[in-house]
Amino acid sequence: MSNTAINNSDFITKAEAIILENISNEQFGVSELADLMNMSRSSLLRKIKTQTQLSASQFIRQVRLAKSMQLLQEGALSVSEISYQVGFGNTSYFIKCFREQYGYSPGDVKKGTIPFENTDDEIPFLNKYKWHIIGGVLFLVVVLLLVFPSKKGEVSAELEMEKSIAVLPFKNESSDSSNLYFVNGLMESTLSKLQKIKDLRVISRISVEGYEKTDKTIPELAEELNVNYFVTGSGQKIGDQVLLTIQLIEASGNRQIWAEQYNRKVVDIFELQNEVALKIVSSVEAIVTPAELEQIEKKSTENLVAYDYYLQALDPFLSRTNEGLTKAIGLFEKAVEQDPEFALAYANIAISYYLLEMFQMEKQYTEKINSNADKALLYDSKSAASLIAKAFYYIQTEEYKLALPYLNKALEYNPNSVLAVQMLADFYFRLSPNSNKYLEYALKGVQLNIAANDSVTQSYICLNLGSALIQNGFVDLALTYINKSLAFAPDNYYAPYLKELILFSKDLNVEQTKNQLVELWNKDTTRLDILQEVAKFHYYDEEYEKAFYYYELFARTREKNRLDMYPQEDIRIGKVYEKMGLDRQASDFYASYAHYCEKDESIYKSASLAMKYANEGKEEKAIEQLQLFAAQNNYQYWILVFMKIDPLVEPLKSHPEFEKVMQKIERRFWENQARLKKSLEEKGLM
């Protein structure tokens, strides 16, 4: 197969061999190749571009097409069979790509009607020797760059080219402002269809919302949003007609790649949405698997009245306010009245109900979440929204392990789903703690939420990443992002609080941190999160009377408002009450903590039990639990910071095994952090 030898280099030969090994797998793309080459995606893109002047997806496609040429010449298989065997899946798309590559159709090869036989001896000079020529040109370019250096960033920007895209808000050209929801719906549809393609990085709607009336140029937007392509559009609805103008722009040269004007009847809106999405995909040369193509071409409903209600519901639904969610539920319910099989509407009803009472202790919508999620899955089991809706039901019922497969599957069907990524980050932060995975999904979320429509949103994005970084012991980097968070929004609700804890992890100054936390709490005495931290730092300093003052206030407020928060603190609250001679109340808190340990299914269970046994004077059992904990992975950096200064641990310090087990916990943490850093770098996330 001499005509498929892409390059003589070991790297290209190895890459080609891996692609050929996976040639029939239509889902094999750039990410899979990068994994098997043990490289980050960005490194792979750069190296393939350097050695072949092709993008990675073009390179993969060329290997597939070269293999198809060989199979066609052998003559044993039909064109359709070959298209599937080389991983195209969609025969018409295979024929289109083949014709673009060779200038004639696969059928012409089968019939023997092409103008030359594609043998090594008869390949036209430019085809046969094109890689030798390109190699010579590249060598000349390198020499010229050494003599005449380019401006900083010009070459690297080209080599880092990837299929990243932003869909800017569409403009409503209608004089009727009530049609705005319809035009927004066209933008949302385009965005959601592109998000289903793994070979594309599609940034979130929230990242582009603020650019609706921007005066910034495309290159300026590209730098802010870190994307290479933009979709812009305008539309209007006049009676039963839809007028839509779409263009695709390559950011680096502010060059229009494709533009089209459509004048269709409203009844053809679904075909129009598919046509636009597929045209964009084709223009940026993204690899689309058959499964992804099926998702893109799927119609969420055939009922135009139902769809209109759905579009009206989107803006209030995406507002995430209680008022907006309540309004959206009513409109989504009207949609399913018109189409009882409208899966996306059912899913969004379930999601809305979950968001309405996410932090409420008493749940009243649990059954509504479940029934709507089940209907969504019944009518579309491959919808990311349906799967997320069902995950929310299991989170609502605290069956966290059952929620995880649904969240993972949602991300599989929609690799650019911001909601799925955010929920997975929250899952590994709050529901089933795993600090490594929390950081990985926080970083993925930043890639999709690369910018925000306002400084407050950007502030919270930085806050979330700072939180994930400190949990994994990246102290200085965490502090950098917390400072960025505060720079974007100085009145950020959580950033000042987290900053004090990060600073404490650097200097371990209990007195200073305690005073700073008291100052923060005095600014807003409704903050129970800061209140319990103030109490805890007084407890760490063994100032039990002051700790009692704050803990008592915290416990009373928590009970009065029936809040299910900070149950892990009950052992410390109990200890403080015991020090104050309130043995009966202390016993109640100890019992509550024992119940918490019993229910705990996280990696921290053995650490929690160690505290319980230490408090009960059962030192051997406490050490046994610490040894079990020392075998865990992905625990938070806070374990290293706070465990040694906790008075509960004091009785264990005289035990001959205590220092050894604490050293093991610390050593394991830093070894795990090193592996994590390497893994994130290889994935191009850090």
Of 133-142, 329-338, 673-682, least confident by mean pLDDT is 133-142
Residue with tokens 């030969």: 13
Regarding whether 414 and 317 lie in a shared domain, the answer is yes
Largest CA distance in the chain: 99
CB 633 within 8 A of CB 668: yes
The answer to the question of residue 510 being in a domain is no
Q: Pseudo-torsion of CA 121, 127, 130, 133, nearest 10°?
A: 70
Q: pLDDT: is 4 or 205 the higher one?
A: 205
Q: Which residues touch 344 (CB under 8 Å, ≥6 apart)?
A: 300, 301, 310, 376, 380, 383, 385, 386
**Region 496-513: what's the mean pLDDT?**
92
What pLDDT shows up at residue 242?
81
Regarding whether 347 and 408 lie in a shared domain, the answer is yes
CB 165 within 8 A of CB 194: yes
DSSP conformational letter for 165: E
What pLDDT shows up at residue 206?
67
The answer to the question of residue 650 being in a domain is no
Q: Which amino acid is at 345?
A: A
Of 433, 441, 422, the residue nearest 637 (C-alpha) = 433
Q: Provide the b/e sequence for 350-369 (b: ≥16 CB within 10 Å).
A: bbbbbbbbeeeeeeebeebb
| DSSP string over 81-135 | HHHHHTT---HHHHHHHHHHHHSS-HHHHHHT-SSS---TTTS-HHHHTHHHHHH
Q: 353 pLDDT exceeds 70?
A: yes
The enclosing domain of 87 has a CATH number of 1.10.10.60
Q: pLDDT: is 644 or 368 the higher one?
A: 368
Q: 8 pLDDT exceeds 60?
A: no
Of 198, 380, 164, the residue nearest 290 (C-alpha) = 198
Q: pLDDT: is 219 or 524 the higher one?
A: 524
Regarding whether 43 and 117 lie in a shared domain, the answer is yes
CB 280 within 8 A of CB 272: no
The enclosing domain of 200 has a CATH number of 3.40.50.10070
**Region 171-200: what's the mean pLDDT?**
75
Mean of per-residue pLDDT scores for the chain: 82
Confidence of residue 162 (pLDDT cuts 50, 70, 90): low
Residue 449: domain span: 435-504
**Region 187-192: what's the mean pLDDT?**
78
Q: Provide the b/e sequence for 420-456 (b: ≥16 CB within 10 Å).
A: bbbbbbbbbbebbbbbbbbbbbbbbbbbbbbbbbeee
Separation between Cα atoms, residue 589 and residue 577, nearest integer Å? 9
What pLDDT shows up at residue 292?
80
Q: 659 pLDDT exceeds 90?
A: yes
User: H helices of 263-365, where?
Assistant: 269-283, 290-297, 304-319, 322-338, 343-356
pLDDT tens profile 479-501 = 999 998 898 888 888 899 999 99
**Region 619-643: what's the mean pLDDT?**
93
Q: pLDDT: is 96 or 69 the higher one?
A: 69
The answer to the question of residue 242 being in a domain is yes
Regarding whether 348 and 276 lie in a shared domain, the answer is no
What number of other Cβ atoms are within 10 A of residue 77's Cβ? 15
Of 214, 204, 623, the residue nearest 414 (C-alpha) = 204
Confidence of residue 89 (pLDDT cuts 50, 70, 90): low
Regarding whether 306 and 285 lie in a shared domain, the answer is no
The answer to the question of residue 146 being in a domain is no
The answer to the question of residue 458 being in a domain is yes
Separation between Cα atoms, residue 96 and residue 293, nearest integer Å? 15
Regarding whether 126 and 10 lie in a shared domain, the answer is yes
Q: pLDDT: is 463 or 502 the higher one?
A: 502
Regarding whether 274 and 255 lie in a shared domain, the answer is yes
The enclosing domain of 489 has a CATH number of 1.25.40
What number of other Cβ atoms are within 10 A of residue 38's Cβ? 9
Q: 586 pLDDT exceeds 90?
A: yes
What pLDDT shows up at residue 193?
81
DSSP conformational letter for 429: I
DSSP conformational letter for 257: E
Q: pLDDT: is 58 or 651 the higher one?
A: 651
Tokens for 458, please give them: 């950007």
**Region 353-357: what's the mean pLDDT?**
91
Q: pLDDT: is 663 or 155 the higher one?
A: 663
Q: pLDDT: is 416 or 337 the higher one?
A: 337
Indicate the residue among 480, 504, 528 that finishes a domain: 504
The answer to the question of residue 573 being in a domain is no
What pLDDT shows up at residue 570?
95
Q: 203 pLDDT exceeds 50?
A: yes
For the ranges 350-354, 427-431, 448-452, the maximum mean pLDDT occurs at: 350-354
Helix, strand, coil fractions of the chain, as percent rounded to 5:
65, 5, 25
Task: Tell me the residue length of the chain.
Answer: 686
Of 315, 286, 86, 83, the residue nearest 185 (C-alpha) = 315
The answer to the question of residue 412 being in a domain is yes
pLDDT tens profile 102-159 = 878 887 787 776 644 443 333 333 333 333 333 333 333 333 332 333 333 333 333 3
Regarding whether 474 and 398 lie in a shared domain, the answer is no
Regarding whether 473 and 391 lie in a shared domain, the answer is no
Q: Which residues touch 422 (CB under 8 Å, ≥6 apart)?
A: 441, 445
Regarding whether 388 and 272 lie in a shared domain, the answer is no
What pLDDT shows up at residue 150?
33
**Region 55-68: what's the mean pLDDT?**
87
Percent of all residues in the chain with a pLDDT value above 70, rounded to a whole number: 88
Q: 352 pLDDT exceeds 80?
A: yes
What number of other Cβ atoms are within 10 A of residue 633's Cβ? 14
Confidence of residue 179 (pLDDT cuts 50, 70, 90): low
| DSSP string over 166-199 | EEPPPEE-SS-GGGHHHHHHHHHHHHHHHTT-TT
Global pTM? 0.58
What pLDDT shows up at residue 117?
40
The answer to the question of residue 649 being in a domain is no
Residue with tokens 């319980």: 612
Regarding whether 199 and 326 lie in a shared domain, the answer is no
**Region 623-630: what's the mean pLDDT?**
95
Q: Provide the b/e sequence for 651-661 (b: ≥16 CB within 10 Å).
A: bbeebeebeeb
Q: 453 pLDDT exceeds 80?
A: no
CB 179 within 8 A of CB 243: no
pLDDT tens profile 385-435 = 999 999 999 999 989 889 999 999 998 888 888 788 888 988 888 888 888
Indicate the residue among 297, 325, 354 that finishes a domain: 297
What pLDDT shows up at residue 41?
77
> Which helix (H) or strand (E) element contains residue 510?
helix 510-523
What pLDDT shows up at residue 452?
46
Regarding whether 132 and 6 lie in a shared domain, the answer is yes
Separation between Cα atoms, residue 654 and residue 649, nearest integer Å? 10
What pLDDT shows up at residue 90?
67
Confidence of residue 575 (pLDDT cuts 50, 70, 90): very high
What pLDDT shows up at residue 594?
95
Strand partners, 202: 165
Q: For the chain, what is the domain count?
A: 4
Tokens for 419, please give them: 């909601």
CB 502 within 8 A of CB 478: yes
**Region 371-396: what's the mean pLDDT?**
94
The enclosing domain of 342 has a CATH number of 1.25.40.10
CB 75 within 8 A of CB 63: no
